[in-house]
Amino acid sequence: PILVKYVVGLFVGPPKKDIRGQLALVTGGSNGLGREICFQLARNGCHVAVVDLDAVNGEKTVQDLHQQYGVKAKFYKADISSYESVQELRKSVESSLGQVDILVNNAGVLPLMSVREGTPEDLKKVLE
């Protein structure tokens, strides 16, 4: 029996952690991969803080999360490249939804140009 458990464990992996009721903060959560991450977390019972600069799609994401999964979700407009903005975001999230349990740092800038066409400032935005 122990050998069977070991062999099965090689293929199955450890059991999934139960994340129901935890609060996840997803940066870049209004569109694309970030939005899909929000939905996957909500599908697994997480409450979601959606953080982005795109307020229109951020509010739409929150509305869809409420309707489809009934979890707590709230949109926060924040520039995560700004230390002050991140500090304000932390205070806002903690006061309205509580302490963050899961952080998905998905936000990023991807300019539509080659590296050769870009300026040092463009590269700095990508790396921040």
Q: Which residue has 């099965």 as its token pair?
A: 8
**18-109+118-127 to CATH, choices 3.40.50.720, 1.10.3720.10, 3.40.50.11900, 3.30.1330.60:** 3.40.50.720
Between 117 and 103, residue with greater pLDDT: 103
Report the mean per-residue pLDDT for the chain: 87
What is the reported pLDDT for 111? Answer: 59
Q: Would you kindly state where each structural domain of the chain is located, as residue ranges?
A: 18-109+118-127
> What pLDDT digit, counting tens, does each position of 55-70 carry?
999 999 999 999 999 9
CA atoms of 50 and 30, how far apart (whole Å)? 7
> What pLDDT digit, counting tens, does each position of 113-124 carry?
566 776 667 556
The DSSP-derived string for 14-63 is SPPPP-TT-EEEEETTTSHHHHHHHHHHHHTT-EEEEEES-HHHHHHHHH
